[in-house]
Protein backbone atom coordinates (compact mmCIF):
# COMPACT_ATOMS: atom_id res chain seq x y z
CA UNK A 1 0.00 0.00 0.00
CA UNK A 2 1.33 3.43 -1.02
CA UNK A 3 -0.07 6.23 1.11
CA UNK A 4 -0.55 9.71 -0.35
CA UNK A 5 -1.71 12.64 1.78
CA UNK A 6 -3.34 15.49 -0.17
CA UNK A 7 -4.34 18.88 1.22
CA UNK A 8 -6.83 20.94 -0.75
CA UNK A 9 -7.90 24.51 -0.11
CA UNK A 10 -10.37 27.12 -1.27
CA UNK A 11 -8.82 27.23 -4.74
CA UNK A 12 -7.92 23.60 -5.37
CA UNK A 13 -10.07 20.90 -3.78
CA UNK A 14 -8.73 17.77 -2.15
CA UNK A 15 -10.91 15.81 -4.58
CA UNK A 16 -8.96 17.21 -7.53
CA UNK A 17 -5.63 16.48 -5.86
CA UNK A 18 -6.86 12.97 -5.06
CA UNK A 19 -7.82 12.39 -8.69
CA UNK A 20 -4.33 13.45 -9.75
CA UNK A 21 -2.71 11.29 -7.04
CA UNK A 22 -4.51 8.18 -8.20
CA UNK A 23 -2.92 8.61 -11.64
CA UNK A 24 0.63 8.73 -10.32
CA UNK A 25 3.01 6.02 -11.50
CA UNK A 26 3.72 4.72 -8.01
CA UNK A 27 3.24 1.23 -6.57
CA UNK A 28 -0.40 0.28 -6.16
CA UNK A 29 -2.71 0.00 -4.39
CA UNK A 30 -2.74 3.71 -3.61
CA UNK A 31 -4.43 5.01 -0.48
CA UNK A 32 -5.24 8.73 -0.59
CA UNK A 33 -5.97 10.56 2.66
CA UNK A 34 -7.66 13.92 2.09
CA UNK A 35 -7.52 17.15 4.07
CA UNK A 36 -8.94 20.59 3.36
CA UNK A 37 -7.32 23.85 4.48
CA UNK A 38 -9.62 26.87 4.99
CA UNK A 39 -11.85 25.90 2.07
CA UNK A 40 -14.86 27.53 3.76
CA UNK A 41 -13.42 31.07 3.81
CA UNK A 42 -14.45 33.91 1.54
CA UNK A 43 -12.06 34.98 -1.19
CA UNK A 44 -10.85 37.97 0.85
CA UNK A 45 -10.45 35.91 4.02
CA UNK A 46 -8.47 33.28 2.16
CA UNK A 47 -6.26 35.96 0.62
CA UNK A 48 -5.42 37.10 4.14
CA UNK A 49 -4.18 33.59 4.95
CA UNK A 50 -2.06 33.57 1.81
CA UNK A 51 -0.50 36.90 2.76
CA UNK A 52 0.28 35.56 6.23
CA UNK A 53 2.14 32.66 4.63
CA UNK A 54 4.01 34.86 2.17
CA UNK A 55 5.18 37.11 5.00
CA UNK A 56 5.67 34.59 7.81
CA UNK A 57 6.04 31.19 6.20
CA UNK A 58 4.18 27.97 7.04
CA UNK A 59 4.38 28.50 10.79
CA UNK A 60 2.30 31.71 10.52
CA UNK A 61 -0.96 29.79 9.95
CA UNK A 62 -2.69 26.71 11.32
CA UNK A 63 -2.27 23.31 9.72
CA UNK A 64 -5.25 20.97 9.17
CA UNK A 65 -6.40 19.09 12.24
CA UNK A 66 -5.29 15.46 12.24
CA UNK A 67 -2.60 15.83 9.58
CA UNK A 68 0.30 15.21 11.97
CA UNK A 69 -1.08 11.76 12.72
CA UNK A 70 -1.86 11.00 9.06
CA UNK A 71 1.54 12.02 7.75
CA UNK A 72 3.54 9.73 10.04
CA UNK A 73 3.44 6.81 7.59
CA UNK A 74 2.71 8.75 4.39
CA UNK A 75 4.87 8.11 1.32
CA UNK A 76 3.89 11.24 -0.63
CA UNK A 77 2.43 14.65 0.23
CA UNK A 78 0.66 16.80 -2.36
CA UNK A 79 -0.53 20.33 -1.65
CA UNK A 80 -1.52 23.46 -3.49
CA UNK A 81 -1.04 26.39 -1.13
CA UNK A 82 -1.65 24.73 2.24
CA UNK A 83 1.24 24.97 4.72
CA UNK A 84 3.84 22.22 4.99
CA UNK A 85 5.19 23.07 8.41
CA UNK A 86 8.25 22.03 10.34
CA UNK A 87 6.05 19.93 12.63
CA UNK A 88 4.63 18.08 9.63
CA UNK A 89 8.08 17.30 8.24
CA UNK A 90 9.33 16.16 11.63
CA UNK A 91 6.30 13.88 12.07
CA UNK A 92 6.81 12.18 8.71
CA UNK A 93 8.91 9.02 9.01
CA UNK A 94 8.90 7.69 5.44
CA UNK A 95 8.03 10.63 3.18
CA UNK A 96 9.57 10.03 -0.24
CA UNK A 97 8.52 13.26 -1.96
CA UNK A 98 6.54 16.48 -1.56
CA UNK A 99 4.73 17.97 -4.54
CA UNK A 100 3.24 21.45 -4.68
CA UNK A 101 1.62 23.47 -7.44
CA UNK A 102 1.61 27.21 -6.82
CA UNK A 103 3.68 30.28 -7.62
CA UNK A 104 6.09 30.29 -4.67
CA UNK A 105 7.19 27.94 -1.91
CA UNK A 106 6.80 30.24 1.08
CA UNK A 107 4.25 27.76 2.46
CA UNK A 108 6.88 25.05 2.88
CA UNK A 109 9.41 24.67 5.70
CA UNK A 110 12.25 24.27 3.24
CA UNK A 111 15.02 24.01 5.83
CA UNK A 112 13.26 21.03 7.42
CA UNK A 113 12.71 19.47 4.00
CA UNK A 114 16.37 19.97 3.19
CA UNK A 115 17.58 18.53 6.50
CA UNK A 116 15.60 15.34 5.88
CA UNK A 117 16.68 15.14 2.24
CA UNK A 118 13.12 14.90 0.94
CA UNK A 119 12.76 15.74 -2.77
CA UNK A 120 10.52 18.74 -3.36
CA UNK A 121 8.86 19.16 -6.74
CA UNK A 122 7.51 22.68 -7.27
CA UNK A 123 5.23 23.08 -10.25
CA UNK A 124 4.48 26.72 -10.94
CA UNK A 125 0.81 26.45 -11.82
CA UNK A 126 0.67 29.81 -13.57
CA UNK A 127 4.04 29.95 -15.29
CA UNK A 128 2.59 30.55 -18.77
CA UNK A 129 0.31 33.40 -17.62
CA UNK A 130 3.13 35.03 -15.66
CA UNK A 131 5.50 34.83 -18.62
CA UNK A 132 2.87 36.42 -20.87
CA UNK A 133 2.17 39.13 -18.31
CA UNK A 134 5.88 39.87 -17.87
CA UNK A 135 6.17 40.55 -21.57
CA UNK A 136 3.03 42.68 -21.37
CA UNK A 137 4.57 44.82 -18.63
CA UNK A 138 7.66 45.35 -20.75
CA UNK A 139 5.52 46.80 -23.53
CA UNK A 140 3.29 48.67 -21.09
CA UNK A 141 6.13 50.42 -19.30
CA UNK A 142 8.43 51.16 -22.22
CA UNK A 143 5.59 52.47 -24.41
CA UNK A 144 3.47 54.18 -21.71
CA UNK A 145 0.34 52.18 -22.47
CA UNK A 146 -1.09 52.33 -18.95
CA UNK A 147 -0.11 55.97 -18.40
CA UNK A 148 -1.70 57.06 -21.68
CA UNK A 149 -4.88 55.15 -20.83
CA UNK A 150 -4.98 56.71 -17.38
CA UNK A 151 -4.60 60.17 -18.88
CA UNK A 152 -7.30 59.67 -21.52
CA UNK A 153 -9.75 58.38 -18.90
CA UNK A 154 -9.02 61.50 -16.85
CA UNK A 155 -9.71 63.78 -19.83
CA UNK A 156 -6.05 64.36 -20.71
CA UNK A 157 -4.60 63.77 -24.18
CA UNK A 158 -1.00 63.09 -23.15
CA UNK A 159 1.76 63.11 -25.71
CA UNK A 160 4.78 63.40 -23.43
CA UNK A 161 6.05 61.07 -20.69
CA UNK A 162 9.09 60.80 -18.37
CA UNK A 163 10.79 58.28 -20.66
CA UNK A 164 10.46 60.35 -23.87
CA UNK A 165 14.24 60.52 -24.48
CA UNK A 166 14.48 56.72 -24.48
CA UNK A 167 11.38 55.44 -26.27
CA UNK A 168 12.12 52.75 -28.84
CA UNK A 169 10.93 49.32 -29.94
CA UNK A 170 11.54 46.20 -27.89
CA UNK A 171 13.78 44.71 -30.58
CA UNK A 172 16.27 47.54 -29.97
CA UNK A 173 16.57 46.71 -26.28
CA UNK A 174 18.56 44.15 -24.31
CA UNK A 175 16.49 42.31 -21.71
CA UNK A 176 18.23 40.97 -18.61
CA UNK A 177 16.62 38.22 -16.54
CA UNK A 178 17.55 37.64 -12.91
CA UNK A 179 16.71 33.97 -12.45
CA UNK A 180 16.27 31.32 -15.13
CA UNK A 181 13.79 28.93 -13.58
CA UNK A 182 10.63 27.67 -15.25
CA UNK A 183 9.05 31.12 -15.70
CA UNK A 184 12.35 32.68 -16.76
CA UNK A 185 12.76 30.08 -19.49
CA UNK A 186 9.26 30.78 -20.81
CA UNK A 187 10.07 34.50 -20.93
CA UNK A 188 13.26 33.72 -22.85
CA UNK A 189 11.30 31.65 -25.39
CA UNK A 190 8.98 34.59 -26.02
CA UNK A 191 11.84 37.08 -26.31
CA UNK A 192 13.79 34.75 -28.61
CA UNK A 193 10.72 34.59 -30.84
CA UNK A 194 10.68 38.38 -31.03
CA UNK A 195 14.38 38.56 -31.84
CA UNK A 196 15.26 40.32 -28.58
CA UNK A 197 18.76 39.92 -27.13
CA UNK A 198 18.58 38.26 -23.69
CA UNK A 199 21.10 38.43 -20.86
CA UNK A 200 20.77 36.11 -17.85
CA UNK A 201 22.07 35.94 -14.30
CA UNK A 202 21.51 32.63 -12.52
CA UNK A 203 24.47 31.03 -10.76
CA UNK A 204 22.62 27.76 -10.23
CA UNK A 205 21.83 26.72 -13.79
CA UNK A 206 24.03 24.64 -16.06
CA UNK A 207 24.83 26.88 -19.01
CA UNK A 208 25.45 23.93 -21.33
CA UNK A 209 22.04 22.48 -20.49
CA UNK A 210 20.41 25.83 -21.29
CA UNK A 211 22.13 25.92 -24.67
CA UNK A 212 21.09 22.31 -25.33
CA UNK A 213 17.49 23.32 -24.68
CA UNK A 214 17.76 25.79 -27.55
CA UNK A 215 17.46 28.94 -25.45
CA UNK A 216 19.43 31.86 -26.86
CA UNK A 217 20.89 33.75 -23.93
CA UNK A 218 24.18 35.27 -22.83
CA UNK A 219 25.18 34.75 -19.22
CA UNK A 220 26.46 37.63 -17.14
CA UNK A 221 27.41 38.38 -13.55
CA UNK A 222 24.65 40.23 -11.76
CA UNK A 223 26.68 43.46 -11.85
CA UNK A 224 27.23 43.12 -15.59
CA UNK A 225 23.55 42.43 -16.19
CA UNK A 226 22.43 45.53 -14.29
CA UNK A 227 24.98 47.64 -16.12
CA UNK A 228 24.20 46.38 -19.64
CA UNK A 229 20.49 45.56 -19.78
CA UNK A 230 17.86 48.03 -20.97
CA UNK A 231 15.07 46.08 -19.25
CA UNK A 232 15.72 44.01 -16.13
CA UNK A 233 13.08 41.44 -15.21
CA UNK A 234 13.16 39.66 -11.85
CA UNK A 235 12.38 35.93 -11.67
CA UNK A 236 14.18 34.79 -8.52
CA UNK A 237 12.41 33.20 -5.58
CA UNK A 238 12.62 34.61 -2.06
CA UNK A 239 15.34 33.16 0.16
CA UNK A 240 17.43 34.75 2.91
CA UNK A 241 20.08 35.33 0.22
CA UNK A 242 17.74 36.97 -2.28
CA UNK A 243 15.75 39.14 0.14
CA UNK A 244 16.45 42.78 -0.83
CA UNK A 245 19.03 41.43 -3.30
CA UNK A 246 18.18 44.16 -5.79
CA UNK A 247 19.37 47.06 -3.66
CA UNK A 248 20.83 50.55 -3.95
CA UNK A 249 24.13 49.16 -5.19
CA UNK A 250 22.65 47.19 -8.09
CA UNK A 251 20.09 49.81 -9.06
CA UNK A 252 22.86 52.41 -9.15
CA UNK A 253 24.46 50.39 -11.95
CA UNK A 254 21.42 50.71 -14.21
CA UNK A 255 21.38 53.03 -17.19
CA UNK A 256 19.22 56.17 -16.97
CA UNK A 257 17.29 54.65 -19.88
CA UNK A 258 16.72 51.27 -18.19
CA UNK A 259 13.53 49.76 -16.75
CA UNK A 260 12.90 47.31 -13.91
CA UNK A 261 10.11 44.71 -14.06
CA UNK A 262 9.03 42.52 -11.13
CA UNK A 263 6.46 39.73 -11.43
CA UNK A 264 8.23 37.48 -8.89
CA UNK A 265 8.13 38.56 -5.24
CA UNK A 266 8.37 42.04 -3.75
CA UNK A 267 10.85 40.97 -1.10
CA UNK A 268 13.72 40.47 -3.57
CA UNK A 269 13.61 44.20 -4.38
CA UNK A 270 14.61 46.94 -1.93
CA UNK A 271 11.63 49.29 -1.91
CA UNK A 272 13.50 52.35 -0.68
CA UNK A 273 16.18 51.92 -3.33
CA UNK A 274 13.60 51.63 -6.11
CA UNK A 275 11.50 54.60 -4.94
CA UNK A 276 14.56 56.83 -4.69
CA UNK A 277 15.77 55.85 -8.16
CA UNK A 278 12.36 56.60 -9.67
CA UNK A 279 11.89 59.85 -7.77
CA UNK A 280 15.32 61.09 -8.86
CA UNK A 281 14.81 59.89 -12.47
CA UNK A 282 17.95 57.74 -12.24
CA UNK A 283 16.17 55.02 -14.21
CA UNK A 284 13.52 55.37 -16.90
CA UNK A 285 10.76 53.47 -15.13
CA UNK A 286 9.52 50.32 -13.46
CA UNK A 287 6.54 47.98 -13.53
CA UNK A 288 5.48 45.87 -10.56
CA UNK A 289 2.82 43.21 -10.18
CA UNK A 290 3.98 42.43 -6.63
CA UNK A 291 3.97 45.07 -3.90
CA UNK A 292 5.42 45.04 -0.39
CA UNK A 293 2.04 45.68 1.23
CA UNK A 294 -1.01 44.34 -0.57
CA UNK A 295 -3.38 45.95 -1.17
CA UNK A 296 -1.30 49.10 -1.55
CA UNK A 297 -2.03 51.72 1.09
CA UNK A 298 -3.36 55.13 0.05
CA UNK A 299 -0.32 56.95 1.47
CA UNK A 300 2.24 54.65 -0.15
CA UNK A 301 4.94 56.69 -1.95
CA UNK A 302 4.60 54.33 -4.91
CA UNK A 303 1.32 56.03 -5.77
CA UNK A 304 3.06 59.39 -6.22
CA UNK A 305 5.37 58.18 -8.98
CA UNK A 306 4.64 58.98 -12.63
CA UNK A 307 7.26 56.59 -14.00
CA UNK A 308 5.87 53.43 -12.40
CA UNK A 309 3.21 50.97 -13.55
CA UNK A 310 1.45 48.99 -10.82
CA UNK A 311 -0.88 46.02 -11.21
CA UNK A 312 -2.72 44.21 -8.43
CA UNK A 313 -0.83 40.88 -8.33
CA UNK A 314 -2.72 39.44 -11.29
CA UNK A 315 0.11 38.11 -13.46
CA UNK A 316 -0.89 34.50 -12.88
CA UNK A 317 -4.63 35.07 -12.80
CA UNK A 318 -6.25 33.17 -15.67
CA UNK A 319 -9.33 30.94 -15.63
CA UNK A 320 -7.39 27.74 -16.30
CA UNK A 321 -4.13 28.10 -14.36
CA UNK A 322 -5.35 27.02 -10.92
CA UNK A 323 -7.83 24.25 -11.91
CA UNK A 324 -5.20 22.61 -14.14
CA UNK A 325 -2.44 22.71 -11.55
CA UNK A 326 -2.93 19.26 -9.91
CA UNK A 327 -2.87 17.59 -13.33
CA UNK A 328 0.26 19.52 -14.29
CA UNK A 329 1.79 18.37 -11.01
CA UNK A 330 0.77 14.76 -11.83
CA UNK A 331 2.46 14.92 -15.24
CA UNK A 332 5.65 16.46 -13.86
CA UNK A 333 5.83 13.87 -11.07
CA UNK A 334 5.33 10.97 -13.46
CA UNK A 335 8.11 12.32 -15.69
CA UNK A 336 10.33 12.61 -12.60
CA UNK A 337 9.55 9.06 -11.53
CA UNK A 338 10.51 7.86 -15.00
CA UNK A 339 13.74 9.81 -15.47
CA UNK A 340 14.85 10.78 -11.97
CA UNK A 341 15.32 14.33 -13.25
CA UNK A 342 13.13 17.45 -13.35
CA UNK A 343 13.59 21.18 -13.90
CA UNK A 344 11.06 21.56 -11.11
CA UNK A 345 13.06 19.65 -8.50
CA UNK A 346 13.97 22.39 -6.05
CA UNK A 347 17.57 23.16 -5.16
CA UNK A 348 17.27 23.74 -1.43
Q: Supply the DSSP symbol for 296.
A: P
Q: What's the Cα-to-Cα distance from 301 to each of 35, 252, 335, rounded to whole Å?
A: 42, 20, 47
Determine the Cα–Cα distance for residues 160 and 306; give it in Å rounded to an integer. Answer: 12
Q: Looking at the chain, how many residues does it have?
A: 348
Cβ atoms 103, 96 nearer than 8 A = no
Q: Which of 67, 69, 71 is nearest to 37 (CA)?
A: 67
Nearest 5 degrees, angle CA 344-CA 234-CA 274? Answer: 150
Determine the Cα–Cα distance for residues 25 and 200; give it in Å rounded to an integer. Answer: 36
User: Strand pairing of 197-201 and 120-122?
Assistant: unpaired
Determine the Cα–Cα distance for residues 188 and 85; give it in Å rounded to an integer. Answer: 34
**Residues assigned a catalytic role:** 265, 294, 313
Burial 224-251 (b: 16+ CB within 10 A, else e): ebbbbbbbbbbbbbbeeebeebbeeebb
Amino acid sequence: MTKVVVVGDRLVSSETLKEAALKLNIPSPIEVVEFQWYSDLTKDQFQEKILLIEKGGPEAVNIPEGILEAIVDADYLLVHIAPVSKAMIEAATQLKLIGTCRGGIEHIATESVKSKGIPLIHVIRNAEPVADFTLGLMFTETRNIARSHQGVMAGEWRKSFPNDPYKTTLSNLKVGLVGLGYIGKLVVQRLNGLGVEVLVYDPFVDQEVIKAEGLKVDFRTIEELFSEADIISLHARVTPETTNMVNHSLISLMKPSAYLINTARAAILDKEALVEALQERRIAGAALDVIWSEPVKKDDPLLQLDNLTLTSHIAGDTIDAIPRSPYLLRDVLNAYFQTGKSDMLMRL
